[in-house]
Amino acid sequence: MISPSLLSANFANLEAEMKWFNQSAADWLHIDVMDGVFVPNISFGFPVLKHVARISEKPLDVHLMIVQPEKFVNEVKALGAYLMNVHYEACPHLHRVVSQIHEAGMKAGVTLNPATPVSVLEDIACDVDLVLLMSVNPGFGGQKFIPHTLKKVAELRRLLTRTESKALIEVDGGVNLDTGRLLTEAGADVLVAGNFIFGADDPRKACEALANCAS
């Protein structure tokens, strides 16, 4: 599955971006919310996203790179989001946050930074619907893929099998046709791509090419 990241879109013309997106091979729309605290950047907030949500015809995959993400469960729900991803590193009470997301009627995803080992998921894997592995340090689009992620995907696949978890594996950062193919071979289910898709001359075509390389 492919989840293009809105972070690399032309924010001065979101309506045009959503037009090709709605007609593309994309499965989800990946939405990166940043707070300038958890990550050293700020992206967009809910007043902007409510307009995007209104015109997206595909499920929203919301990636919160913020401290205390539990404060925003209702805001994310109000967007009509399909999936709410919170960072393991931002949630001392992760089990409670995952329950809150489920109670709000959304799928729950847990995200790991590049330096966080997959072993921390041992006791939560069964309770989540998706694990998002960061293959760059979060905060910016267009960064270089960290190759160690390939080992983490394979290790996560083993952990999910062992714990009988049905969680999907999503990977975010530096995804292109080469890294996308390697990630799919390693066991990834969902690929996030910002720069590779939105930075292409023909984003719809780039999205289709990535979907083909991942199938």
CA distance 181 to 172: 14
CA quadruple 50, 53, 169, 111: dihedral, nearest 10: -10
Tokens of 173: 């950062």
User: Does 172 qualify as catalytic in the annotation?
Assistant: yes
Footprint of Zn ion on 57-76 (CB under 5 A): 63
Smallest gap from residue 190 Cβ to ligand DX5 (A)? 12
Assess 172 for contact with ligand DX5 (CB under 6 A): yes
Residue by residue, DSSP assigns 50-84 as HHHHHH--S-EEEEEESSSGGGGHHHHHHTT-SEE
Assess 170 for contact with ligand DX5 (CB under 6 A): no
Assess 172 for contact with Zn ion (CB under 5 A): yes
Tell which residue, 97, 116, 114, 32, has the closest CA to residue 66.
Answer: 32
169 bridge partner residues: 131
Footprint of ligand DX5 on 1-60 (CB under 6 A): 5, 7-8, 30, 32
Smallest gap from residue 97 Cβ to ligand DX5 (A)? 18
Helix, strand, coil shares of the chain as percentages rounded to 5? Answer: 45, 20, 35
Assess 32 for contact with Zn ion (CB under 5 A): yes
User: Does 61 qualify as catalytic in the annotation?
Assistant: no
Binding mask 103-122 for ligand DX5 (x = CB under 6 A): --------------------
**Residues 207/26, Cβ–Cβ less than 8 Å:** yes
Q: Closer to Zn ion at the Cβ: 144 or 158?
A: 144
Amino acid at 61: D
The residue from 32, 35, 61, 129 that is catalytic is 32
Smallest gap from residue 134 Cβ to ligand DX5 (A)? 7
Interface with ligand DX5 by CB under 6 A: which residues? 5, 7-8, 30, 32, 63, 136, 138-143, 172-175, 192-196
